[in-house]
Amino acid sequence: MIINSFPKIVKDILRPLPKNDYPVLNSRLYVECWLAYALDNSLTSMR
């Protein structure tokens, strides 16, 4: 149940972010990178 709703939650988080804001401050890319870092099972520094 949680696994099925997770992609929807991520899409809901990313949807309001602009696709092209400042080239230096790309909010969408920042959130995508942060999510990838936070969800990477091989990293233990977040725990």
- 24 DSSP assignment: S
pTM: 0.43
Would residue 1 count as lying in a domain? Answer: no
For residues 31-41, one letter each, b for 16 or more C-beta atoms within 10 angstroms of the residue's C-beta and e for the rest, the string is eeeeeeeeeee
CA distance between the termini of the chain: 24
Would residue 29 count as lying in a domain? Answer: yes
Q: How confident is the model at residue 35 (pLDDT cuts 50, 70, 90)?
A: confident
Q: What does the pLDDT read at residue 36?
A: 82
pLDDT of 38 strictly over 80 = no
What percentage of the chain has pLDDT greater than the value 90? 0
How many independent structural domains does the chain possess? 1
Query: Which range marks the domain in which residue 40 is found?
Result: 6-45
Would residue 37 count as lying in a domain? Answer: yes
Q: How confident is the model at residue 25 (pLDDT cuts 50, 70, 90)?
A: low
